[in-house]
Structure 1
């Protein structure tokens, strides 16, 4: 079956011809005239052939023109509304030139006249700067630093420089190299990291202020600072030694803080004891002076009796501190041993036995044992009057 047979259901061409009739493409003028007729009818026209003379149709009516104007005005007004988010600020360009900055909310700007560019001023972004840098003492360190920033001035951010983020990156690298170049390697790696960070931050802020980047640096942090791989083990040992030094210093300070109050307490106690000893010695001396002052008139009145009494008092004090006494009897050449501890023990036992009967042992009731010792070849010993019986 051929494609041009009348009975074939697919016997159609792109121009809509049927029945095997080949009329060619449609006339464009006819299509235009048909379209204009439909538009005129839709807006109240009478329809026509679309000729310029208007003899075949009535053209657009005044009400149709007003309706078209109203629709266009509504579309233009609708296109002028823009919503600025809470974290954004809108930069308004009027005919391509900066006009102003609008606040968050629903704003209206004339469409096709003003162009609004929203800029987020609250979100915090970050960039990283790193590289090998030379220190003041001519050592190479690998430094990596992170800078956190946000947009502070939308106008300066958009129009001051071509690429503010790239400019910030370059300023960070320049400030970091400047500060590291004026610091020693030990300061950058260990003790001076905070000083280097603060100095880099200050240098960076001074730079971006001069260029009006419209950016604010929120924070600057060291990500990694390390020596080259060839000398890294030696620097690790040095850092470990410094950490041990700091730990020992802190332990010593803690020990000093713990011992200092104790030492102060000991000093205070010794001072108080010294003051008490001084007071006691002074009072005892004053008491002795007062006793001798009272004893002097008695001695002047009866010297012999006073000397004898003082002698007996002294012997009583001496014998009260010993438990054994040796007596040398006059002329016999024998030594008498008096066990005072045994005597006192027996006396205490006898007192305990008679305590229930409320009886007091009479004087001389107990006769202590007497042990005679052979005469010493040297004749030495403690001599006392035979009348002495362990008391006055």
Structure 2
């Protein structure tokens, strides 16, 4: 096929037709090989990935998602990096899918600002921000991130007290650790971005946990007692203010009542005095009648006066009249009796409960 001499002839001069056919075949094979080599430079980058193109081992550019072509090996080489994957890092413990957590005391024991030790476990999540920086700026970016995160959390805990870390400062420690870690990653151009940092657990060392539990319980009792005192104060003070306001209003009402009554009595006395000066006898008789009416209205005796005589029978319900002080008064002067020929002078009687009074003939 390449124009070589077939058979055992000693003629070394190839025929003219064989030389042409051999050149065509060699060119065809070379074209096929070249085509295959060029097609091998086609690659596809997924939406969650980035393609880092290296030309002769040196960074060239980063390709975005979609189909691309590069010079095949050995000219170009493509490193595909998943930039959407969320990776995790754990400080102070290790966990896996089916195995329980294992503590790493060399990472979890940290010194606080007040020279106490806490056992802290913290976890973080991150992703790749810049694929080129992730591949070329640091040798092992995941390991570097773990070391930076341990350094950041030790710095934050070292600036805080033990009580702050164990109680209300958990979220603040996680936030400050995230900020400090991101600043360190950006300073070293690792191409990583921290998405979240969460405090998993923080406890005093195992040797002093019982004593610390007593301290925490005492602190909780103190908070509970303060809350109960505040609740009692919020309940009793408004009620006391309400009672004081009610007493003041009652005093004001009593004052107004007494003053008004005194003014009325004074006004009535002045009016009576004025009428008395105008007609002394009539006013004196009127006052006498009013006084006697007031006295007899509270008396248990019944006075009967009959001007005209007769043999009529008078019945008075004395039992009911004497049994209740609020019984209605009977005006005996307005009673109408049938008259007879027999004169009747006058009679008065004092009756007891349940008796009847008859008129004399």
TM-score (norm 2): 0.68
1:85 to 46, 51, 56: 46
Task: Figure out how many residues of one structure are paired with residues of the other and give that number.
Answer: 307
- Once residues 314 and 119 of structure 1 are traced to their aligned partners in structure 2, the CA distance between those partners, rounded to angstroms, is 117
CA contact (8 A) 1:151 1:157 kept: yes
> Offset at 1:144?
1.5
Distance 1:121 1:365 in 2: 127
| Partners of 1:52 and 1:115 in 2: CA distance | 50
Q: Does 1:103 align with 2:64?
A: yes
Q: Equivalent of 1:120, from 82, 94, 108?
A: 82
Gaps of 5+ in 1: 1-39, 327-337, 352-359, 372-392
Deviation at 1:55, TM superposition (A): 2.5
For residues 163 and 154 of structure 1, the distance between their equivalents in structure 2, rounded to whole angstroms, comes to 13
| 1:160 counterpart residue number | 137
5+ residue gaps, structure 2: 93-107, 302-318, 338-345, 354-361
Measured in 2, the distance between the counterparts of 1:177 and 1:269 equals: 62
| d(CA) in 1 for partners of 2:70, 2:118 | 54
Rounded to whole Å, the distance in 1 between the matches of 2:63 and 2:122 is 35
Separation in 1, partners of 2:276, 2:258: 26
Change (3 A) 1:340 1:248: same
Shift of 1:99: 1.5
How high is the TM-score relative to the length of structure 1?
0.63
Which of 1 and 2 has greater Rg?
Answer: 1
Q: Is the 8 A contact 1:343 1:368 kept in 2?
A: no
| 2:6 aligned with 1:48 | yes
Match of 2:271 in 1: 294
Alpha-carbon deviation of 1:58?
Answer: 2.3
Moved more, 187-196 or 229-238: 187-196
Higher RCO structure (Cα 8 Å, ≥6 apart): 2
Is residue 204 of structure 1 aligned with residue 181 of structure 2? yes
Q: Is the CA contact 1:325–1:339 (under 8 Å) kept in the aligned structure 2?
A: no
| C-alpha separation in 1, matches of 2:216 and 2:249 | 49
Superposition RMSD in Å? 4.2
CA distance in 2, matches of 1:275, 1:87: 82
Q: Is the 8 A contact 1:149 1:218 kept in 2?
A: yes
- 1:68 and 1:307 map into 2 onto residues whose CA distance is 156
CA positional deviation for 1:234: 1.0
Structure 1 CA distance, aligned partners of 2:336 and 2:38? 138
